[in-house]
Amino acid sequence: MHGYELRKRLSGALGAFHSLSYGSLYPCLKSLEARGEIAALGAADSVAPALAGKRARIVYELTAEGKERFATMLADSGPDTWDDEAFGIRFAFFGRADADVRRHILEGRRSRLEERIATLRGSLVRTRERLDTYTLELQRHGLESVEREVRWIDDLLAGENGSPGGSEMSRTGSGSGRSTTRAIDSTGAEATRRSSDR
């Protein structure tokens, strides 16, 4: 596949998690080729570039070394895979990873997010009096977003562990159809509200 098609597919798979520019894609392809992990097969266009008035698209193929490297990366579940950018990319390939690797990455990601929640809650309590309404709302929004991701990961882990709720979430992609909203009131206490999605 050529670089344009690769970017299109990756953008479709990664969506909002990662933006891939041609300025970063092509140097990466050159690096992969230099390491022998991909090989250039030639131009994708049947018309000669000089006649078409544009550059030919080079088609790349994954080599045996590249397949081995990809398999090694899929098996990695270390702390680097729990970070914001790496997690989204790893998650896009979860269907190819072993269940134990998926569970370990999800548990690590949840741990990272719980640390972030503790930091955000502490910051909210400490800085509440010094912040204007909009800055406070922005911090609350950030906290709610992280808490929502933790609940999503809990649902995914339930599915990985074979619980009934997790199995339903895996089949439908929507879980129980209920959402939980948490907010921090003026005293720093957490209030919870459950609502059905309709």
User: Is residue 175 packed enough to be buried (19+ CB in 10 Å), middle (13-18) or exposed (0-12)?
Assistant: buried
* Band of pLDDT at residue 50, cut at 50, 70 and 90: low
102 and 23, same domain (yes or no)? no
* Band of pLDDT at residue 89, cut at 50, 70 and 90: confident
Structural domain including 24 reads 3-73
68 and 118, same domain (yes or no)? no
Q: Which residue has the higher pLDDT, 56 or 36?
A: 36
Q: What is the domain-level CATH number for residue 54?
A: 1.10.10.10
Domain stops at, among 52, 73, 94: 73
99 and 58, same domain (yes or no)? no
Q: How many domains does the chain have?
A: 2
Q: Where are the beta strands (DSSP E) in 1-146?
A: 38-43, 58-62
In the prediction, which pLDDT does 52 show? 53
Could you read off the pLDDT of 3-39 as tens digits, one per residue?
767 777 777 667 665 667 777 788 888 999 999 999 9
Domain stops at, among 45, 73, 101: 73
* Band of pLDDT at residue 171, cut at 50, 70 and 90: very low
Domain stops at, among 48, 73, 98: 73
- Give bridge partners of residue 179 from the DSSP assignment: 195
The interaxial angle of helices 99-127 and 133-160, nearest 10 deg, is 160
63 and 129, same domain (yes or no)? no
Q: Residue 137 phi/psi, 5° resolution? A: -65, -35
Q: Which residue has the higher pLDDT, 3 or 79?
A: 79
Mean pLDDT along residues 60-71: 94
CA distance linking residue 65 with residue 58, whole number of Å = 20
CA distance linking residue 193 with residue 181, whole number of Å = 5
Could you read off the pLDDT of 124-157 as tens digits, one per residue?
988 888 889 999 999 999 999 999 999 999 999 9
Q: Let me know how long the chain is.
A: 198
